[in-house]
Structure 1
Amino acid sequence: MNNSPGSPQLKTNSEATQKRTLSEKDWINKWEKNNIGFHQNHIHTFLEEFVNDLLNNRKQVNIFFPLCGKAVDMKWLTDMGHTVVGVDVCEIGLKEFFEEHNIPYVEESLPDIPDGKVFKSTCGHISLYCCNLFNLSSSVIGKFGGIWDRGAMVAINPCDRERYAELILSLMEDDCRYLVVTSVYDIKSYGGPPFCVTDAALETLLGLSCNIQCLKSVEGLTEKQKPWGLSHYEEKIFLITLKSKS
C-alpha cells in the first residue's frame, strides 16, 4: 500500500522502528513477477480451526478480506453460503481467483475511485475491488459482520497502521467478529514484510474500542523465514469485537 503522508507512527511501539515501506508499485511488481510467497494454496489452518469464532453460528455473513490477493479462503466461505468482499491493489490475483475456481465474473469501473475496478461473480456472492485500500469506505462497500485478516495488518506499512485500524473500525457492524493474524519476531534481524505486530501494538490500535482475545499462538518458523535471519517467528490469531456502547 502507499505510504500515506500525515499518518503518525506509533511512538510507543517498538515495531515503529521498522522503517522499510512498500509502495503500490512494489506489490504490483510482486504479482507481475509471481513473487507471491505470501499466497497459500490451502485454507489457512487458523481459519479452519477458528471459523466459528468468525461466524458465531450466523448464516449468510458478509465478510471482508483486506488485501485479499487470490486467497482460496474466499471460495471456502462463499461455498458455506456467506458473501465476500475483498480488495487488493493488483488485479492479477483478483482475476486469477475467479479463473482458478472457474467462477464467472464481470468487471465494472468505480466512478468515485480513479482507475478503480471491481470484479463481481455473476452469482453475486463475491466482489473483489482493485484499488488502494484506503480509497474504500463503508459508503462504497458497506459494513461487515466478519473480517478475515490473514495478511493485511502485517503488510500495511507501520506508519499507516493507525489509518488502517480506523478504516477497519469504520467497516465493522455492531456484531462484527474480526479475526486477525499477526507475526512477532526480532525486528533487529528482519525489516519486513510481514511486519512485526506485537500484542501491545494491537492494544494501542484497537483496545480503546474493542475487546481483544488471543485465540492461539504458534511457533511459525519454517524454511521460508530462516533466510530472513530469524531464529523465532511467532504467529498469533486474535478475535476482535466491538465493545458495547452502553
Structure 2
Amino acid sequence: MLEAQANRVMLLRDWEERWQEDRTGWHQPQVHKFLENNIEKVIAGRNRVKFFFPLCGKALDMKWLADMGHSIVGVEIAEKAIRQFFEENNLIYSEETVHALPGAKVYKSSDGNISLYQCDLYSFSRAIEGQFGGIWDRGSLVAINPQDREKYATLIMSLMDNDCRYLLDTLLYNPELYKGPPFFVPDEQVKHLFGKTCDIEMLQSIDALTDREKAWGLDFLTENVHLITPKAK
C-alpha cells in the first residue's frame, strides 16, 4: 500500500503557493478535538510545558495551549500563515532574523510565549530551542513527502525531552484512490519509525470521512491519534 504514494513529492514552494492562494482546506477554525480530548494525557500534571508544533500553519491550538500557560515553538515555511496566526488572534509580535539558521526568521509574541520559525523544518534542530516536553503533530507527518519519513522521525525524536509526550495524528485510507497530501500513514509505519526508542499508545480512532474526502474519491477515512513517549532508560 505504501508504494502507491512512495514517490510523491511536494516542494516547499508548493506549500507556500497553497497559502498564498488560500488553498488551505486542512486548516481548522477551532481547536482540534483530538487535542482537546486528550490534553490531560499530554500535560500529565505538568505546568508550563514547552510544546513543539511541526509545520504549524496558523493552528488555533497554539494560542489555546499558550493561554493555559504553556510555551509554544512552531516551524512553518509560509510567512503568510505565521503573520495570519498573530494578526487573526490579535497578538502583538516581533520579527527577528535567526543567526543560527541562515535565511530564517522567528516571529515572537510580545509575552514571549509563542515563537514561530519561518524555515525549512529539516534545518531546525535542538540547537535552536532545546528539547520539548510536548509535541502536537496534526497535519505534519501526513504532509511531509513519504520518502522523508525516516529523516522526519529522527528529527522529532531528537527534539523529545525525557518526559516528552508526543501526540501524533495519522490518516488511514486507500492510497490507490488519492495521491495525497495528506498522505496515508499506517499504524505499522508509526511503529517502525518510533517503536525502537518509544512506547506507542493508540488513544482514539474515528471515522473521519466527510464530503471533502469523498470528493477526492475516497470511500473511507480513519483518523487515529497516538501518544508516543520515550521508553524508560
**Same fold? TM cut 0.5:** yes
Following superposition of structure 1 onto structure 2, how do residues 205-216 of structure 1 map, counting pairs within 5 Å? 205-216=193-204
**Equivalent residue number for residue 28 of structure 1:** 16
The answer for the alignment partner of 1:17 in structure 2 is: 4
Q: 1:131-210 maps to which residues of 2 (within 5 A)?
A: 131-210=119-198
Aligned to 1:120: 108
Deviations 1:38-80 (A, max 9, x none): 1000000111100111111111000000000000000000000
| Counterpart position of 2:84 | 96
Structure 2 CA distance for aligned equivalents of residues 16 and 112 of structure 1: 37
Contact 2:4 2:179 (C-alpha < 8 Å) held by counterparts: no
CA contact under 8 A between 2:4 and 2:176: conserved in structure 1?
A: no
Give the secondary structure class of the aligned counterpart of 1:70.
coil
Measured in 1, the distance between the counterparts of 2:40 and 2:77 equals: 29
Deviation of the 1:200 alpha carbon: 0.5
Cα distance in 1 for partners of 2:3, 2:158 equals 23
Distance in 1 between residues matched to 2:11 and 2:100, nearest whole Å: 22
Shift of the alpha carbon at 1:208?
0.3
C-alpha contact (below 8 Å) 1:178/1:239 kept by paired residues: yes
Report how far residue 114 of structure 1 moved: 2.3
Cα offset for 1:142? 1.1
Tell me whether 1:226 sits opposite 2:214 in the alignment.
yes
| Partner residue, 2:56 | 68
- Listed one character per residue, the Cα deviations across residues 64-120 of structure 1 (whole Å, up to 9, x for unaligned) are 000000000000000000000000011111111110111111000012222100000
Q: Could you tell me which runs of 5 or more consecutive residues in structure 2 were left unpaired when the two chains were aligned.
A: none
Opposite residue 51 of structure 1, the aligned amino acid is I
- Matched AA of 2:137: D
Q: Where do 5+ consecutive residues of structure 1 fail to align?
A: 1-13
Give the number of equivalent residue pairs: 232
TM-score by length of 2: 0.98
Structure 1 Cα separation of the partners of residues 97 and 4 of structure 2 = 38
Q: Is the 8 A contact 2:77 2:119 kept in 1?
A: yes
Identity of aligned residues (%): 48
**Equivalent residue of 2:29, what SS?**
coil
CA distance in 1, matches of 2:4, 2:62: 33
Q: Secondary structure of 1:224's partner? A: helix
SS in 1 for 2:152: helix
